[in-house]
Amino acid sequence: MGNLGALDMYNIPRVCKECGGVMVFKGVGEYRCEDCGAVDYDDYGKVRGYIEEHKGATAAQIENAVGVSQRTVRRLLKDGRLEIAEGSNVYLRCELCGKEIRSGQYCPECEIKVHRNLEAKQRELMNKNARGFGFEQKGEEGQKRFRREE
């Protein structure tokens, strides 16, 4: 899923609740109306604001306080936008090796492996697709490759 798709999952305010104006992103999950200046927050902004004041809050507490579902809180953790507090007895698990992690999908070691594997596949695809230019193909020696039919 691309970044735009991920951002759409977090209930971004697009229309001002006060005047119907256009909401403009100001950073860290905050949006401000172009017309009346009203402020609203996407799910990330709501969750972040709450945990800044209530360190160590659980997903259930966050859901009850700001109305953002526990599922969305878990997605924010997996996307690496939030991190489980240090000293917490709750952890995520690396999707490859099962090691305890506080944020994201992979532990640092597996993250490196995943990126190296992706880079290798990308190089392989680029090398595979680069063939054809500058390489001689059977039966085409000295012939024009592109002919205009008239």
Read off the pLDDT of each residue in 97-113 and give the average, rounded to a whole number: 95
Average pLDDT, the chain: 85
Helix (H, G, I), strand (E, B) or coil at 93: strand
Q: What is the rounded CA–CA span in Å between residue 30 and residue 48?
A: 11
The pLDDT, as a whole number, for residue 53 is 94
pTM of the prediction?
Answer: 0.68
Q: In whole angstroms, what is the distance from residue 120 CA to residue 21 CA?
A: 47
CB atoms within 10 A of CB 44: 24
Decide if pLDDT at 4 tops 50.
no
pLDDT for 17 equals: 94
Q: 48 pLDDT exceeds 50?
A: yes
- For residue 2, is pLDDT > 70? no
Distance CA 20, CA 35 (A): 9
Q: pLDDT band for position 139 (50/70/90)?
A: low
Alpha carbon separation from 107 to 58, 69, 82, 97, 114 (Å, rounded)? 22, 25, 15, 8, 10
- Please report the pLDDT score of residue 104 as a whole number: 95
